[in-house]
Chains A and B, each alone.
Chain A
């Protein structure tokens, strides 16, 4: 028997987009305000966090995101679903933020730092190269010890983690924001930021290593002052 093709009333969603997301896109295109409200509630704060990687202040990040929303609405008809909706939206945010960052002509020490590829853990945490047996292994005093669970979830720690994130070079901050806060996949981050898979992994590695090192400092300072 020859299968006959069912006439479809709605276009099938492209592979990178879930059926729900595709429905949402259709609703937005039809001007459904409730759908837009949901989208804004879901993504606005995430977009501001992402834009903040390139802007000197929170207020400018907010402005960038408002500009990006307009860009998203204008481009919505052209969204083909080759990436997830959020990856596509984040790409517009990141590009708008970069452009704005350039316009602000902020003299930034970041470009040099950006390429910085220091070790994830400072070299003096390990036994020296001339150690006959354990060269390159943890030095006794520097081997990681458990962090206090109660402090990890403390409000103060949260503010500190926020500050550590802020201090990261922009590209590391973008990747960490999308991967570890927003929960994007590696592929979505590559799409949103226009970086290769290897590149996003290197940036993620540096970011996580630095934030972890910052937490080590915090907890050892607290231990010392306790």
Chain B
């Protein structure tokens, strides 16, 4: 017999606790309710996947490099600091 009742956790609420879920901040009971909801809700499974894909997409915004001229300026500043010109 299925123990799932649609009133247990609504999708509207599930999307609001997804970060707490991913951060491991839900209580044992709430995590169980959330995971139970996922078993029965393909929409929320997809939502969770999209949040993970979003994190992945944002994580790919990394390829900028420090411009050579800026690096040289910083190293100059470092030399000044080292020789005590920056206090």
A→B interface (CB under 8 Å):
31, 33, 36-37, 40-41, 44-45, 48-49, 62, 66, 69-70, 73-74, 119-121, 123, 126, 133-138, 143-147, 152-153, 157-158, 161-162, 165, 176, 180-181, 183, 186, 201, 204-205, 208-209, 211-212, 215-216
Q: Tell me whether B19 is interfacial, beta carbon within 8 Å.
A: yes
Q: A205, B13: Cβ atoms under 8 Å?
A: no
Q: Which of B43, B65, B73 contacts A144 (CB 8 A)?
A: B43
Q: Does A73 lie within 8 Å of B65, measured CB to CB?
A: no
Please report the C-alpha to C-alpha distance between residue A1 and residue B55 in the assembled complex, in whole angstroms: 54
Q: Which of B11, B54, B73, B81 contacts A138 (CB 8 A)?
A: B11
Q: How far is the CA of A28 from the CA of B41 in the complex (A)?
A: 54
Contacts of B78 in A (CB 8 A): 31, 33, 36, 73
- The A/B interface has a contact count, at CB < 8 Å, of 142
B residues in contact with A133, CB < 8 Å: 6
* A185 CB to nearest B CB, Å: 10
B34 to chain A, nearest CB (A): 14
With A73-B78, A162-B61, A180-B59 known, 17 other A-B pairs at CB within 8 A are A36-B75, A45-B62, A66-B70, A66-B74, A69-B74, A70-B86, A120-B15, A136-B11, A137-B41, A144-B47, A152-B53, A161-B61, A183-B59, A208-B54, A209-B15, A209-B51, A212-B51
